[in-house]
Amino acid sequence: MPIEKEALAVTWACERSSNYIIGKPITIETDHKPLVPLLTNHTIDKLPPRLQRYKMRLMRFHIKDVRHVPGKLHYTADTLSRKIPESTVQPTVEENEMNAYVLNVIDALPASNPRLKEIQQAQDEDEVCKEVKKYCMDQWPEKDHVTPAVKPYWSVQGELTIADGLLLKGTRLVIPSRLQRQTLNQIHEGHQGISKCRERAKISVWWPGLSAQIKVMVENCTTCSKYRQQHPEPLMPTPLPQRPWQLIATDLFILEKVTYLLVVDYYSRYVEVVALPKSTSSSKIIQALKTIFARHGIPDEVRSDNGPQYHSDEFAQFAKEWGFKHSTSSPRYPQANGEVERAVKTVKNILKKEQDPTKALLAYRSTPLASGYSPAELLMGRKIKSTIPITLPHLPPQLPNQKLFIEKEEVYRSKQKKNFDNRHKAQPLKPLPPVYITDMDCTGTVIRPSKKPRSYLVDTPTTVVRRNRVQLQNIPKDIDKKQDKQETTPSLNINSRPNRIKTWSLKARENLGLE
């Protein structure tokens, strides 16, 4: 092939002049432009097998640069390259070793002989591959003179080679169109992600557009859609209430086999914790909340999860009698009630570390937050006395500067939202698309958004449920059903390239016949 002949010419010239150039930086000029990047930018393992032998023979020379010089300006070399009588020089031991290595590289391609025969036959029957092979054997024309189907191969012509009838790009098999779908299915065996599948394909197979086709296949795989990690939507922080104890949240948590009721104020982050050692029924929770309300007043709104204690008729009657609004988060998605979840985490940590839980709560309530005010100051309008010594002038009631507090709180929340949104970009769902409900392990159809933020009503085979966006995975509509079917044709093993190279006898293996 032309590029191999050009590489041979460069190698021959360097070796013939080795007595004069060895150890010195040299610049090589060639009129074959595709050869320049192959000798400068490509590592030896990325070259076509038949060019690797020349690259290895050139490694002992200090090649500073390889330049392209148009043929019309390449007078001397062009004149000397005219046809000369056939050489009778026998190959050297070094050349024999190089040839043996190249044969071994091709033989080490991770595919069985029957599979290689199938690929070779498919290439011979494929019109595009036949045309590409013809250009590789003769000469590539200008890009405008090749057919549209062959143009994607024109840009990589320097990497294309033919080894015993097999069309290769570097050391990768060029897969004809008839076998591409089957090979894609084999690449996606194990249902790995886009990057992993691309890395797997890079080992031994190639065709134009392979990377994009892998991306489409993985994104449209039904199995992958079910188990793909869902990215939460951008943060939707609750607006800061206008006054203390206007909006509170409540939840239950267990620590050392004891159940606790936690209440947190959205304005001040002040927490109340009540132990419920015997029962967690609605009546017990209501009684605990009544005691807390008697101390701080009745809030405008109480938020909770969908636990049975809060979802009962008894709790609904309590909310009606005491005149507050009760709202719940999405079922089975406690993160929607984020303020109380963070408070639970904080309280559990401090209770684990402090033997006296009352001292732990006292320390939390009296410690300034990012705004500069403690939860007690924001709720009660005064600093509370703790175990740390404090002078009397700090203890009289003094209302916090609400304007300054709101400004600092907004800055703090804005930073939180920005940091969160940089990592979470799930898109809203539209009605009618099929979805996979992760916590129910079933599919359904989105009816419409719920009244609650980022919640959707989903029609399942048995009932209509409400779920948060993060619990719903998009399922592609048009999927090629073949992707989940087991292939019956011989498998192309593309797991890994062999790490060890066997020693071959050049006499025992003179060609790459696929016998």
Q: Give domain status of residue 232, yes or no.
A: no
Q: Give domain status of residue 427, yes or no.
A: no
Q: Is pTM, for the whole model, over 0.75?
A: no
- Are 329 and 354 within one domain? yes
More confident residue, 506 or 440: 440
Task: Please determine, for residue 496, whether its predicted confidence score (pLDDT) is greater than 70.
Answer: no
User: What is the distance of C-alpha 89 from the center of its chain?
Assistant: 56
- Are 167 and 116 within one domain? yes
- Are 205 and 318 within one domain? no
Q: Give domain status of residue 91, yes or no.
A: no
Q: What percent of the chain has pLDDT over 90?
A: 23
pLDDT score of 320: 95
Average pLDDT over residues 223-252: 76
Q: Give domain status of residue 484, yes or no.
A: no
121, with CB counted inside 10 A (0-12, 13-18, 19+), is middle
Task: Please determine, for residue 400, whether its predicted confidence score (pLDDT) is greater than 50.
Answer: yes
Q: How many residues does the chain have?
A: 515
- Are 275 and 382 within one domain? yes
- Are 378 and 253 within one domain? yes
Q: Give domain status of residue 192, yes or no.
A: yes
Task: Please determine, for residue 487, whether its predicted confidence score (pLDDT) is greater than 60.
Answer: no
Task: Please determine, for residue 332, whether its predicted confidence score (pLDDT) is greater than 70.
Answer: no
Q: What is the mean pLDDT of the chain?
A: 79
Domain that holds residue 192: 96-220
- Are 199 and 256 within one domain? no
Of 47-61, 87-101, 467-481, which has the strongest mean pLDDT?
47-61
Residue 474 confidence class, pLDDT cut points 50, 70, 90: confident
- DSSP-derived letter for residue 256 is T
Tokens of 127: 């019109």
Across 47-56, 227-236, 465-474, 499-508, least confident range: 499-508
- Are 61 and 101 within one domain? no
CB-CB contact of 438 with 460 (8 Å): no
CB-CB contact of 29 with 67 (8 Å): yes
Q: Give domain status of residue 131, yes or no.
A: yes
pLDDT per position as a tens digit, 334-368: 555 667 888 888 888 888 887 888 988 998 899 98
Task: Please determine, for residue 302, whether its predicted confidence score (pLDDT) is greater than 60.
Answer: yes
Strands 271-276 and 258-265: antiparallel
pLDDT score of 288: 95
Number of structural domains the chain divides into: 4
Of 55, 84, 113, the one marking the end of a domain is 84
CATH of the domain at 117: 1.10.340.70
CATH of the domain at 387: 3.30.420.10
More confident residue, 411 or 214: 214
Q: Give domain status of residue 428, yes or no.
A: no
Task: Please determine, for residue 511, whether its predicted confidence score (pLDDT) is greater than 80.
Answer: no
- Are 294 and 358 within one domain? yes
Helix (H) or strand (E) holding 458: strand 455-459
- Are 75 and 100 within one domain? no
Q: Give domain status of residue 385, yes or no.
A: yes
Of 182, 203, 220, the one marking the end of a domain is 220
pLDDT score of 275: 92
Residue 294 confidence class, pLDDT cut points 50, 70, 90: very high
- Are 442 and 325 within one domain? no
Cα–Cα–Cα angle for 126, 182, 515, rounded to 5 degrees: 60
- Are 397 and 302 within one domain? yes
Of 204, 220, 236, the one marking the end of a domain is 220
How does DSSP assign 264-286, residue by residue? Answer: EETTT--EEEEEESS---HHHHH
- DSSP-derived letter for residue 436 is E
- Are 214 and 269 within one domain? no
